[in-house]
Amino acid sequence: MEQAVTLPSQRVKSLRQAFERRFGRAPEIIVRAPGRVNLIGEHTDYNDGFVLPVAIDRDVLFAAARRNDDRVHLWAIDLDEEDEFALSDISRSEARPWANYQRGVAAMLQARGHKLIGADVAFSSNVPIGAGLSSSAAVEVAAAFGFLSLSGEEMDRAQMALACQQAEHEYAGVPCGIMDQFISALGKEDHALLIDCRSLTYEHIPIPEGVRIVVADTGVRRALAGSEYRVRRSQCEEAVRLLQPVLPEIRALRDVSEADLERHGHLLPEIVWRRARHVVSENQRVLDAVAALRQGDLARVGELFMASHRSLRDDYEVSSPELDAMVEAAMEGPGCFGARLTGAGFGGCTVSLVRADRVEDFVAHLTRAYRERTGREATVYVTRAADGVGMATA
Ligand code: GLA
């Protein structure tokens, strides 16, 4: 089922009205920060590798106005819950876990020397939660940009993404890489973002005309995802530790080539070797996908999507029966170049590249074929590469 989306201008208008009703004055700023879908480069960011996400047209809206004291008053419109804290004394909230994103972001910005001003805040999101579309990164980046703008503070966007990532680590307790916050901060309309997760240098790569990005939510959420994510991270670290005696210059799997792995793979336990093989081959696939996108060779990009999915399924073992069923259903669909699981895996979404002139038929096919295979309902979004965080103009 394709989901109806409220027009962006309507969402901004109703947020402004809600803010005025609640706080008795108009917001001074309304910020928009997008979720993301990763085209390719999965589980490479925390290995200092390459990723190629796009920001999507699903986002968090954050309305705020300054206060005369140092308090932040937060209203989560979607939950209709509120939270309040002092900027001079920020800690995690056990009672309201949703508020830890804004609390963490404010704490990390201040720890980097930014002088923040107290604020009344109302925010709302249409990024599906827990689907692997980085709803939490969007909340963090919206808050960072909002707090900084309101306080008249300047910050480099890559540094802002790092502060948000640290907030996620320390306040939400999720040991994520840098991809999600980075793309929400630096996305560009109609472009994917090639990020070198070691140097944090990046390049916007145009998405060829005539192709659509289709995100399909399996509807399955796995509580396992968090603990398995940690296990994968430590297996990657183990691979580096075990390879260092023969490859002393390596610091991360980013530095290991396919030839290195072939030569020295026997030093690794089988499971660790497969994890490493995924990361090493996936880094190469990102660079190959960028080259193919530049040449407009979508068939090649599609092949790389399929290889990525197989590697995530067989070597990294982060797929699920539903994700595999969705990818198989997508591949049989009209106009599909390729499909793969996207995000951390275990549940959540797939991403497919589809010919623009076949996209309606593709969505109808995917919805039907996924239901036939699994008995479940998919939620399918045809999305486009959107801009990163900024002021909402509508
Ligand atoms: C999650 C993390 C990212 C990245 C992906 C897997 O989305 O937040 O940093 O590691 O998983 O590619």
The mean pLDDT of 348-366, rounded to a whole number, is 98
180 lines ligand 1 (CB under 6 A): yes
Separation CA 351–CA 124 (nearest Å): 25
For 172-231, the DSSP string reads I-----SHHHHHHHH-BTTEEEEEETTT--EEEEEPPTTEEEEEEE-S---TTHHHHHHH
Q: Is 201 exposed, middle or buried (0-12, 13-18, 19+ CB in 10 A)?
A: exposed
Contact at 8 Å (CB) between 276 and 268? yes
Q: Is the CB of 182 under 6 A from ligand 1?
A: no
Evaluate: CB of 45 within 6 angstroms of ligand 1: yes
Task: Please tell me the predicted confidence (pLDDT) of residue 226.
Answer: 80
Q: Is residue 312 within 6 Å of ligand 1 at its C-beta?
A: no
Query: What are 304-327's pLDDT values in tens digits?
Result: 999 999 999 999 999 999 999 999
Which residue is closest in CA terms to ligand 1's atom 9? 177
- More confident of the two residues 6 and 381: 381
Of the pLDDT bands very low, low, confident and very high (cuts 50, 70, 90), residue 3 is very low
Structural domains of the chain, with CATH: 4-206+386-393 (3.30.230.10), 211-383 (3.30.70.890)
Q: Is 69 an annotated catalytic residue?
A: no
179 CA distance to ligand 1 middle (Å) = 7
State phi, psi for 48 to the nearest 5 degrees.
65, 25
- Choose which residue among 36, 40, 43, 308 to substitute to test ligand 1 binding: the one with the highest number of ligand atoms within 8 A of its C-beta: 43
For the CA of 174, the nearest atom of ligand 1: 8
How far is residue 151's CA from residue 146's CA, in Å, rounded to a whole number?
8
CB-count exposure of residue 276 (10 Å: 0-12, 13-18, 19+) = buried
Region 347-366: mean pLDDT is 97
Predicted pLDDT of residue 88? 98
pLDDT band at 256 (very low <50, low <70, confident <90, very high): very high
What digits encode the pLDDT tens for the residues 78-107? 999 999 999 999 999 999 999 999 999 999
Closest to 258 (Cα-Cα) out of 233, 238, 289, 283: 283
Q: Are 186 and 193 in contact (CB under 8 A)?
A: yes
- Active-site choice (57, 180, 217, 315): 180
Q: CA 18, CA 80: separation in Å to the nearest integer?
A: 11
Phi, psi of 41 (to 5 degrees): 105, 65
C-beta separation of 388 from 185 below 8 A: yes
Q: How far is ligand 1, taken at its centre, from the CA of residue 178, in Å?
A: 8
Please determine, for residue 5, whether its predicted confidence score (pLDDT) is greater than 70.
Answer: no
What is the bridge-based pairing of β-strands 71-76 and 119-125? parallel
For residue 189, give Cα distances in angstroms to 44, 193, 376: 24, 10, 33
Tell me whether residue 109 is exposed, middle or buried, using C-beta atoms within 10 angstroms of its C-beta: 0 to 12, 13 to 18, 19 or more.
buried
Ligand 1 neighbourhood includes 191 CB (under 6 angstroms): no
Q: pLDDT digit string (tens) for 264-281?
A: 999 999 999 999 999 999
